[in-house]
Structure formats: C-alpha cells, structure tokens
Amino acid sequence: MISEAEWQAKLSPEQFRILRQKGTEMAGTGEYDEHFDKGVYNCAGCDTPLYTSDHKMVSHCGWPAYFTALPGKINRHVDNSFGMKRIEITCSNCDGHLGHIFEGEGYKNLAGDKVNDRHCVNSVSLKFTPENK
C-alpha cells in the first residue's frame, strides 16, 4: 500500500489532486479529449491498462469519453454529490479517481452503435501507450 506522502512524491501536483483527492480537470483542457490514436489508455498512477482506443467515443463533453473499460480494471461507486446521481470510477489496482460514468444519454460509439454508458475520464488520470505498428 502506497502512503499519501509517497503518492504526492510520485505524482505531479495536478495528478495528485485528481487521482488521490478526487478532483476534476477543467473541461476542454485535457490532452486526450479529442485524441483518437490507436493504443491503450493506462492509469497515470499505477500504469494499469484501463481503456483501449476502441472504447473511445465522441461526446463533446470536454473530457475523454469511453463507452466501456477493460474487464475488471475499474471500480464503480455511487456518487450523489452535486444533487445528481453519478457513478464514480476508480482504478481497480490503485484506487485512483478517474472520473464518472453517466448512464442512458444516448451516445454512440465510433462504430455508430448506441451505447448506454459514457465514462467521462480526466486526461490527467490517464497515460496513453500507442499501438505498436
């Protein structure tokens, strides 16, 4: 188990604020919002693979959006803050805060299929690894 002091030494101040203190980056500022290169999005805290580029979707919400995650890689927690029901998502390996899931919004994945969930993830919580060509 890594202590909060060890996390603080390992992560940038912004990564620590979001991953460990459940913060949120400003909409439209993250590097992966409109990023569609082929590869894998890993947890910025522990490098666990969380999403692939095939999970990405266009939502225009200001944060990277995915319709699903790799099996067993995220945990879900009900979050009733801000007067709404959201599902907080955390890395299943290090418990780092990733963002929230919003359900039933009617978005489509990149293939054009309607999906039920939108995983709205902070770019700061992610580290992209490009696909080997």
| Sheet strands (E) in the chain | 39-43, 49-52, 56-57, 65-66, 74-79, 86-91, 97-103, 117-121, 126-130
Q: Which of 43, 91, 94, 120 is catalytic?
A: 120
The answer to whether residue 120 is catalytic is yes
Dihedral of alpha carbons 72, 102, 98, 60, sign: positive
SS3 127: strand
Residue 39 contacts residue 128 (beta carbons within 8 Å): yes
Catalytic residues: 120
